[in-house]
């Protein structure tokens, strides 16, 4: 790996950098929409949420790293990836609680099956509502419960979100999600101001 001095930037290059920022913001908006959709429709499984975050994060990292081939650009790309995953994680929690607040049903649930923790998998319970219907999806973790135990939960009749004990509270995670998204936007918008500075990093074969 060698470093070479960077050439002075002309007006066209500066304009191109801002155009690149616009494309970064577009990718962020599309990726965020995919994360929100996955969290809304498939919140009971975080796989699609994290897959959406992975695709969004990797795309943004590649775009930033290719556009700003400097050490500062590498730092920016790493920060973008971390913020995208943090945003996805918090958004999944916020959307899940929001769905349960608006569309959830509170009921006294009975444990019909208990699965103890195994390896990396947390304990889980299958539940039946007081009207006799099986609750979609499982409650996890479900430590300290046994078959026949009854306790109050909030569940989504449509099965989009996993049931929870207690009361869903979407306000705090929503604030965090908005804050992380705002941070991502500000970071991407600020890239032309600092990410190109310093010595350019090029990979060359010896």
Q: Do 29 and 9 belong to one domain?
A: yes
Domain holding 145, by residue range, is: 105-165
Q: Do 154 and 196 belong to one domain?
A: no
Q: Do 160 and 178 belong to one domain?
A: no
Q: Do 83 and 97 belong to one domain?
A: yes
Per-residue pLDDT of the chain (206 residues; tens, 9 = 90+): 454 455 444 444 666 667 888 999 999 999 999 999 999 999 877 889 999 999 999 999 999 988 888 888 889 999 999 999 999 999 999 999 999 999 999 999 999 999 988 888 889 999 999 999 999 889 999 988 999 999 999 999 998 999 999 899 999 999 999 999 999 999 999 998 887 776 666 655 44
Distance CA 168, CA 171 (A): 9
Q: Do 20 and 55 belong to one domain?
A: yes
**Distance separating the N- and C-terminal Cα atoms of the chain:** 9
Question: What pLDDT sits at residue 12?
Answer: 45
Query: What are the C-alpha distances in Å from 5 to residues 83, 89, 100, 200?
Result: 30, 40, 56, 6
Q: Do 97 and 186 belong to one domain?
A: yes
The two beta strands, 2-4 and 124-128, are: unpaired
Distance CA 174, CA 6 (A): 42
Question: What pLDDT sits at residue 198?
Answer: 63
Q: Do 88 and 18 belong to one domain?
A: yes
Question: What pLDDT sits at residue 73?
Answer: 87
Q: Do 21 and 114 belong to one domain?
A: no
Q: Do 9 and 89 belong to one domain?
A: yes
Q: Do 113 and 147 belong to one domain?
A: yes
Question: What pLDDT sits at residue 56?
Answer: 96
In the chain, the number of structural domains is 2
Q: Do 91 and 111 belong to one domain?
A: no
Q: Token digits for 39?
A: 């969290």
**Are the C-beta atoms of residues 177 and 184 closer than 8 Å to each other?**
no
Q: Do 88 and 134 belong to one domain?
A: no
Residues whose CB falls within 8 Å of the CB of residue 92, separated by 6 or more in sequence, listed in order: 35, 39, 43, 46, 49
Question: What pLDDT sits at residue 195?
Answer: 79
């Amino acid at each position: 790996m060698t470093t070479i001095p960077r050439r002075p930037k002309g007006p066209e290059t500066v304009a191109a950098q801002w155009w690149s920022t616009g494309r970064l913001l577009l990718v962020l908006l599309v990726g965020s929409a995919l994360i929100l959709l996955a969290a809304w429709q498939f919140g009971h499984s975080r796989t699609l949420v994290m897959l959406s975050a992975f695709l969004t994060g990797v795309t943004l990292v590649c775009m930033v790293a290719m556009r700003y081939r400097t050490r500062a650009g590498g730092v920016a790309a790493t920060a973008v990836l971390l913020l995208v995953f943090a945003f996805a994680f918090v958004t999944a929690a916020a959307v899940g609680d929001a769905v349960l607040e608006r569309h959830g049903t509170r009921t006294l649930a009975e444990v019909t099956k208990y699965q103890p923790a195994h390896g990396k998998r947390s304990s889980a319970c299958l539940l039946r509502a007081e009207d006799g219907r099986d609750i979609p999806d499982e409650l996890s973790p479900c430590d300290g419960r046994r078959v026949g135990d009854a306790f109050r939960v909030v569940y989504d009749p449509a099965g989009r979100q996993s049931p929870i004990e207690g009361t869903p509270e979407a306000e705090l995670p929503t604030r965090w999600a908005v804050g992380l998204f705002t941070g991502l936007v500000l970071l991407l918008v600020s890239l032309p101001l600092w990410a190109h500075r310093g010595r350019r990093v090029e990979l060359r074969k010896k």
